[in-house]
Structure 1
Amino acid sequence: MAIPPKTTSLSTIIHRGGASGVTGSCHQLIANSESSLLIDCGLFQGDDAQQDSFDQLSIDFDISTVKALIVTHVHIDHIGRLPYLLAAGFSGPILCSKPSAKLLPLVIEDALKIGFTRDARLISQFLERVEQQLVPLDYAKWHTVEASPSINMKIKLQRAGHILGSSYVEVALREPHSKRRERVVFSGDLGAANAPLLPAPKSPSRADVLVLESTYGDRLHEGRSERAALLKRAIEKALDNKGTVIIPAFSIGRTQELLYELEGIIHRAGSDALWQSLEIIVDSPLASRFTRVYRELKPFWDDEAQKRLKAGRHPLNFDALYTVDSHETHEQTVRYLAESGRPAVVIAASGMCTGGRVVNYLKAMLGDPRHQVLFVGYQGAGTPGRDIQRFGAQGGWAMLDGERYDIRAGVTTISGYSAHADQRDLLNFIKRMRHWPREVKLVHGDTGAKRVLKAEIEALAHKAGCSISVVLPSEHE
C-alpha cells in the first residue's frame, strides 16, 4: 500500500445530488472550463425529495461542457433524471456497461409512464433518442472521452457487483503539456460480498480521489448461510400461520437474487411437503421483464450460478415460480391470498413501499397477524417501508396512499440481502488498493452512516501510518 503525494488536483467535483442523502446520485467531474463528465443522474426519493420537487428535478446547471454521461447502473436513483437531462439539451454519449445498455431502456420506459406520459408515440420517440446516445462498453477496457491539447480523459468500467451491469468508474486525467496525472474513482453502488448471482467487486489498483457510497457504512450484514437461514425461518413462520410472506423488492437486482436464493432453499428442502407446495409469485411486470433479461445475460453471472446451470437447474425459472402480469390478475391474487391461507411468497415492487403493486398487498394483509412482511433492502427515511420496519414491532401504523393502516402482521428485516456493500466491504475496497487515495468523499448515505464510516476510514489510515482526508460533501459542493 502507498499513498500518492499531495498535489494540486487536476479536477473539481461538484455533487448535483446524492451527497446529502441516499438518493439522487449525480456527480460532475470538471477537468477544466471546457470539459467535464457527469456520473449518474438519479431521482430523489423519500426524505431526499423536496416538497416542490420540480425545481429539484430540473437540470439547473451548465451542461455545455459535459462530454459524456456515465451510468454506473440502472436503478432509478441513479438514472431517473435522464429525461430532464435530455430535455435540457444534453446530446452527448451515454456510457454504460453492455448489460446496463440492455436494461436501461426498460427502466426509463417505466419511469416515463409513471412520471411523464403514457403516450406510446412520445415514449417510443424518447427511447429511440436514448438508444442513439447509448454507448455500451466492455468491462476493464479504457475508453477515451476527450483528447485535446489541454486535457486527456479516459474512463474504465469495472464490475461493481451491485446489480447486473453495475459498474464503478475509473477516470484517468492527464495534462499533455505538463504530464500531470490524476486517477478519480466513483464507486457507484458497490455490491455485498458473497451476494448471489454476481461476482464481488475487486478494488482498483489505485485512486487519488475516491467518491465512495456509504449506505451501510455503519453496519455489517449477516453472512450468506445465516441470511439464507433467516429467510427460510421467516417464510416458514408465515406458512405455519397459513399466511403470505410479502417481500417489497426492487424490480431489478433484489428480485432476481431472491429468486436465486429461494430456488436454492427449495432444492435443499427436497421432498418437504411444505416447501414443495409453496408458490413463489413475482407480481411486477417490470420485474418479470428484468428477470427475462437476467436470463439472457447468463455469461455475466458468477461461478456459483454457472455451476447450477451446468447441473441442470434453472435458478431464475423454476417450477414453483409464477408471474402476475395483468392488473386484473393482480387484484384477484391479492384477494385470494388475503382470504385463502394458501402458502405463498409474493415479491412485488416497490422496494420501499412508496407505490406499485406491493401497496395493495400491504393494505389487504398488514392488519392480519397471519402474514409476514419481510424487508430485504434499505428503507429510506420518510418512506412507508421505513415506517413499517420501525413501528411494526410496536403494533404501530403506517400511511399508505393517504390512509392509516394498523400493523399486526409480523415484520422481519434481513439486511444481508441488501445489494449494497456493508462497512467491512467498503473498508476493504480501500484497503485492497495498492495505492490508497489521498482523499475520500463519502456520498449516498445517511449522515450517521457517513460519520461512522469516516471514523473507520481515518482509523484504518492511522493504523497504516498514513493520512487520508475524508470529506462529507453537501450538494453543489
Structure 2
Amino acid sequence: MALLTFLGAIQEVTGSCYLLETRDGSRVLLDCGMHQGRREEDESNSKPFAFDPHSLNAVVVSHAHIDHTGLLPRLATAGYNGPIYATEATCELMDLMLLDSAHIQENDAEWESKWRARQGKPPVQPLYTTADAQKALSLCRPLPYGQSQEVAPGVQVTFHDAGHILGSAIVELEVHDHHLTRHLVFSGDLGNSSTPLMPDPTILTRADVVLMESTYGDRDHRPTEETLEEFAEILQTAHREGGNVLIPSFAVGRTQDLLFYLGRFYQEGRLPQQAVFLDSPMAIRANAIYSRFGEHFDPADRALLRDKGVKRAEDWLPILRPTLTPDESMAINRIKSGAIIIAGSGMCNGGRIVHHFKHNLWREECHVVFPGYQAQGTLGRRIIDGASTVRVLHQNIAVRAKVHTLGGFSAHAGQSQLIDWVSHFDHHPELYLVHGELEKMQILKQALHDRLDWVATIPEPGEQIAL
C-alpha cells in the first residue's frame, strides 16, 4: 500500500513538504517549501533532507510562494534532476521568486560574513546560490489546469484552480498501487472567495485522503467591504496627520490585491495620497506576469478592468510609481508625507521595507498597515504584538507609528470557507490538517466535528500513513 509522510508545514505554517511512496517504488514529493519565522525554523532549512533526492521520480508544486517552493534549489543541488511539475503561471512566478530568494541568500551571507570577519569568525555560506536556483528552474514542466498527467509510474496528477494566487493549484493525485486505486487531494493554499482577481477555489467531490490547509482555521475573515472602509479611513487619517503609509506586502498575490483596491479608491475619488510607490522589483515583475495571464482572473473583475480599458496596473492606478533601482528606492526616503509605500518582504524579515522602517517607524504621524499573516518569530509579528522597539538593520528603532492589521485582505480561506470547501467531498474521506499553527488546527478540528460530524487528524512531524 502507498505511504504518505508528513515532512513540513506540520503544526506550523511554513515549510510545506510531503512524500508519497508506492509499493511499486514510485516516489513523488509534494512541495519543497522553506521554513520561515523563528531562528530554529530558519536553521532547519540547511538540514539534510529526510529522503534521498536521487530517489524521487517527480516533484509536484502547488504554487509559487517560497514556503512551498523555497528549498527546490537545495533539492536540485543535492542531486535531484527529475521534473518539477506546476501550472504554467506558477512556473513563471517561480522563476521570479526563486531567483530573488537566491539573491537574498547570497546577500545575507555576504552581510553576515562581513560582521563575522570583524569578530574574527569564519564566513558563512548562502543556503543556495543563483546558479542553484537556475538549476532547479531548468527542471520545471508546466501543466494546464484540468489535464491528467502521469508523473511517476502509477501516479497521475491533475491541477485544479485553488484561487489563492495566480497559478495556484489544488493537487489531485490518483495512485495505482498493486491493483488498488486511491485518490489523494492536497488543497495547497485555498483562496479567500472575497479576494479580487482570483476565482473561487475549485470544488472537488472525490477523494480517499484529503490534506487541507488550516492557516486561518480558527476564524473567519472580516467582510471585505468592512476591511476596505477601515483601510480607506487609515489612508484619510494618515493624510490629515501628514505622515506616510507603509505596507509590507508579499510581492505575489497580496500586492496585486492591494493595487486593485487602491485603484478602486482612486477611481472613486477616495485616495488622498499623492503617490503610491511600489518599491519591490519582484512585485513589479509579478505585475507583468499577472497581466499576461489575465484570462485566469475572476470573470467579473476581468470584465470590470476590460470595460475601463485597463491593460496594466498604471492604467487602473495612475499615481502608481514603480521603483526598480536602489537609487529610486532610496529617493523615497526624502518624502516625509503623502506617500503610500508598498514594499517587501511581507513579514519584514528583509527586503526594502526594513529600510523604510528605519526612516518612518519612529514617526508618530506615520502609519504601518499589515495586510496579511505575520508568522511567529518575524519582525512583522513583533511589531503587531506591540514591541516598543525593534532591531532594524543592526539598529534599535522605536515603534511610534500607528500599527494596523487588516486580516480581511488575506488570500487564504477563512474557517467557514475551509469547512464549506471540504464539505463537498463524498463519504467523509480521511482528513488531515496541515499548514497551520497547532492551536488554529485544534479549533478547526473541533469546528469540523461540530458542523459536519467529521473527525479530522492533526499529524505529527515525520508521521507516516498508509493511503
How far apart, in 2, do the equivalents of 1:446 and 1:123 lie? Answer: 30
Q: 2:74 aligns with which of 84, 87, 90?
A: 84
Aligned-partner residue type, residue 156 of structure 2: K
Aligned-partner residue type, residue 61 of structure 1: F
CA contact (8 A) 2:384 2:405 kept: yes
Q: Does 1:146 align with 2:152?
A: yes
Structure 1 pair 469–243 and aligned structure 2 pair: CA distance change class (3 A): closer
CA contact (8 A) 1:212 1:442 kept: yes
Q: 1:401 aligns with which of 393, 410, 428?
A: 393
Deviates more, 1:344-353 or 1:202-211: 202-211
Deviates more, 1:275-284 or 1:155-164: 275-284
Q: Does 1:133 align with 2:135?
A: no
Superposed displacement of residue 198, structure 1: 0.5
Superposed displacement of residue 278, structure 1: 2.7
Residue 174 of structure 2 corresponds to which residue in structure 1?
172
Q: Secondary structure at the match of 1:46?
A: coil
Residue 404 of structure 2 corresponds to which residue in structure 1?
412
Superposed displacement of residue 129, structure 1: 3.6
Q: Which runs of structure 2 are paired with 1:433-472 in the superposition (5 Å)?
A: 433-437=425-429, 439-462=430-453, 467-472=454-459
Task: Provide Cα deviations, 1:194-226, integer angstroms capped at 9, x if missing partner.
Answer: 211100102212221111111111011111211
Identity of matched residues, %: 32
How far apart, in 1, do the equivalents of 2:264 and 2:41 lie? Answer: 42
CA contact (8 A) 1:244 1:344 kept: yes
Aligned-partner residue type, residue 227 of structure 2: R
Q: Does 1:94 align with 2:84?
A: yes
Q: Gapped runs of 5+ residues in structure 2?
A: 111-127
Superposed displacement of residue 113, structure 1: 1.3
Superposed displacement of residue 54, structure 1: 5.5
Q: Does 1:374 align with 2:373?
A: no
Residue 235 of structure 2 corresponds to which residue in structure 1?
235
Residue 323 of structure 1 corresponds to which residue in structure 2?
322
How far apart, in 2, do the equivalents of 1:313 and 1:400 lie? Answer: 42
How far apart, in 2, do the equivalents of 1:352 and 1:329 lie? Answer: 22
Residue 217 of structure 1 corresponds to which residue in structure 2?
217
Superposed displacement of residue 143, structure 1: 0.9
Superposed displacement of residue 473, structure 1: 2.6
CA contact (8 A) 1:248 1:350 kept: yes
Superposed displacement of residue 276, structure 1: 5.8
CA contact (8 A) 1:441 1:473 kept: no
Task: Provide Cα deviations, 1:376-407, integer angstroms capped at 9, x if missing partner.
Answer: 11000011101111106xxx222223432221
Superposed displacement of residue 415, structure 1: 0.4
How far apart, in 2, do the equivalents of 1:51 and 1:244 lie? Answer: 32
Residue 5 of structure 1 corresponds to which residue in structure 2?
none
Q: 1:21 aligns with which of 8, 12, 19?
A: 12
How far apart, in 1, do the equivalents of 2:24 and 2:358 lie? Answer: 53
Structure 1 pair 98–237 and aligned structure 2 pair: CA distance change class (3 A): same
Residue 120 of structure 2 corresponds to which residue in structure 1?
none
CA contact (8 A) 1:458 1:470 kept: no
CA contact (8 A) 1:23 1:48 kept: no
Aligned-partner residue type, residue 323 of structure 1: P
How far apart, in 2, do the equivalents of 1:29 and 1:138 lie? Answer: 22
Q: Secondary structure at the match of 1:471?
A: coil
Residue 307 of structure 1 corresponds to which residue in structure 2?
303
Superposed displacement of residue 472, structure 1: 3.2
- RMSD (Å), alpha carbons: 2.1
Task: Provide Cα deviations, 1:448-471, integer angstroms capped at 9, x if missing partner.
Answer: 111101111122332xxxx53423
Superposed displacement of residue 49, structure 1: 4.0
How far apart, in 1, do the equivalents of 2:152 and 2:77 lie? Answer: 24
Q: Secondary structure at the match of 2:386?
A: helix
Deviates more, 1:308-317 or 1:91-100: 308-317
Q: Does 1:390 align with 2:389?
A: no
Residue 333 of structure 1 corresponds to which residue in structure 2?
332
CA contact (8 A) 2:105 2:129 kept: no
Aligned-partner residue type, residue 422 of structure 2: I
Task: Provide Cα deviations, 1:333-364, integer angstroms capped at 9, x if missing partner.
Answer: 12x22x3x2x1211000011111110011111
CA contact (8 A) 1:443 1:473 kept: no
Task: Provide Cα deviations, 1:86-122, integer angstroms capped at 9, x if missing partner.
Answer: 011111111001111111111111111121479xxx9
Q: Secondary structure at the match of 2:301?
A: helix
Q: Secondary structure at the match of 1:28?
A: strand
Aligned-partner residue type, residue 325 of structure 2: S
Structure 1 pair 16–408 and aligned structure 2 pair: CA distance change class (3 A): same
CA contact (8 A) 2:27 2:152 kept: no
How far apart, in 2, do the equivalents of 1:197 and 1:48 lie? Answer: 35
CA contact (8 A) 1:20 1:475 kept: no
Q: Secondary structure at the match of 1:391?
A: coil
Residue 432 of structure 1 corresponds to which residue in structure 2?
424
Q: Secondary structure at the match of 1:263?
A: helix
Q: Secondary structure at the match of 1:215?
A: coil
Superposed displacement of residue 128, structure 1: 5.3
Q: Gapped runs of 5+ residues in structure 1?
A: 1-9
Q: Secondary structure at the match of 2:277?
A: strand
Superposed displacement of residue 125, structure 1: 5.3
